[in-house]
Amino acid sequence: MTVKSATRDQLSIVGLLSDFRLLLILYFSFRVLIFLVYQPLILNETEVGIAVGGDFRTYFFLGQLTGEGLLPFRDWWSEFPPIPAYLIAGIYELLGETPSYTSFAWFFGTLMLFADVGNLFLIRRIATRLHGDQTAMALCWIYALLVAPAIFMWWNFESLVTFWLLLSVWWLLRKADVSSALAAGIGALTKFTPALLLGAVFRFRKPQHAARYTVIAAAVFAVIYGTLFLQNARMTAPSLTAQFGKASYQTVWALLDGNYRTGNFGPLEDRFDPAKASEIIGNPSVVPGWLRLAVAAGIGLWVFTRVRRFDERGLVAFVALTLLIFFLQAQGWSPQWQVQIIPLMLLALPSRITILSLVTLMALSFVEYPMLFIRTGDTDGAISGGLVLPYALVIITRTLLLISFCVELYRKLRQQPVPELAL
């Protein structure tokens, strides 16, 4: 092989890796083909396929309520905000009378796939703005190869939550504050975490701009919830309180409380009784929720006052740190939260150690669920016996890893800003 031909081959490889269209084709086809190979089915009341371990089966059963003419927030309560609840109901109705579980899972999963494609586009745009084209493409390839986003799009709606979060951040970086506020408001109607962006808005925008942003985002949220409360306040209220009223689960707080279960709710028939949403399944908290929240708020305020980096990289790091502090104080941990953490960490701290740490986080989460919890069939879903020690070690290690992310993000915020990235 001549030097010229070797050089041409190297250039062609570089060209392939920098071709976003090729990445998109590989990204999309991999996920669709995996779904076709491991199609979700319910056979003899047993779920099989790629959605096993996720929430699609629960969504399907909730959708069946719609098939009986019963609507969320009117006839039954949901632990989810309005968008996922009505998305479930809408898909079931759209598929016609008595759709199969496979068709429901295919439709719901495909929507999440498109949401995650949107996440890939947003990662590229944000990373290009922060770090340049080459780093942006590298981060896109890394995100495409990480297993957690690929799995959770067939398990729940976290990809959609991440889309609204990243879209809000992207528009905030572009100083399109009205668009960002609208996206944050819609995101909060999907899951409450996109509303955490308000902390960054108050830190990186002038007070009058931050106030306007808050009013817009809150108005979007209030209009929808106000309408639902007027329809049926008793069935609407649990969507605001149910997640926060659960017993602790899968956290260091749960270890202190002696709660060794996941954070699931009761059977389907409980959805007709709003009082069931506030029932604690497990032991009460040793550390009260208000105290955890107060400590987290104190830490957040301390970080808020010590930020030096008022550039675009600082804004993304601040959003990531806010999200992690919120997750660490929460009484529970859901493995799908990684889908929000991963892109923000890649964007804020693009390095080899960050990537390896994220791989470690994914490994710990999947060891915890489903690897350990799948072995709890004989104990009604509770970790016990020889599983307690590895379970506790996984939780403690994961918590320390998330704390280490916070430390590195804080260090980032204490650095001097890059002039060309100034807000």
Closest C-alpha to 302, from 405, 232, 203: 203
CA angle, corner 170, sides to 167 and 175, nearest 5?
A: 125
Specify the pLDDT at position 8: 54
Q: Is the dihedral of CA 79, 43, 95, 165 positive or negative?
A: positive
Residue 53 lies in a domain: yes
Sign of CA dihedral 238, 365, 137, 410: positive
Residue 293 in domain: yes
- What is the structure's pLDDT at 74? 94
Element (H, E) at 57: helix 56-67
Which class for 37: exposed (0-12), middle (13-18), buried (19 or more C-beta within 10 A)? exposed
Write the secondary structure of 313-363 as one string of H (helix), E (strand) and C (coil): HHHHHHHHHHHHHHHHHCCECCHHHHHHHHHHHHHHCCCHHHHHHHHHHHH
pLDDT score for 266: 79
Does 87 reside within a domain?
yes
CA nearest 251: which of 265, 243, 262? 262
Q: Structurally, how many domains does the chain consist of? A: 1
- Residue 360 maps to a domain: yes
* Cα 150-323-127 angle, rounded to 5 deg: 60
Residue 42 in 3-state DSSP?
strand
Q: Per the domain annotation, does 4 fall within a domain?
A: no
Domain that holds residue 350: 37-42+49-421
pTM: 0.94
For residue 6, tell me if it sits in a domain.
no
> Within a domain: residue 186?
yes
Q: Mean pLDDT in each 10-residue stretch from start to end of the chain (423 residues)?
A: 53 72 93 91 87 93 92 94 96 90 94 97 97 95 96 96 98 97 98 96 96 98 97 94 90 96 85 89 92 96 93 96 97 96 98 97 95 88 94 97 98 85 72
Instruction: Give dist(CA 315, CA 413) in Å, integer.
Output: 9
**Which pLDDT score is estimated for 339?**
97
DSSP string, 193-259: GGGGHHHHHHHHS-HHHHHHHHHHHHHHHHHHHHHHHHHHHHHHTHHHHHHHHSPPBSSHHHHHHT-
Residue 135 lies in a domain: yes
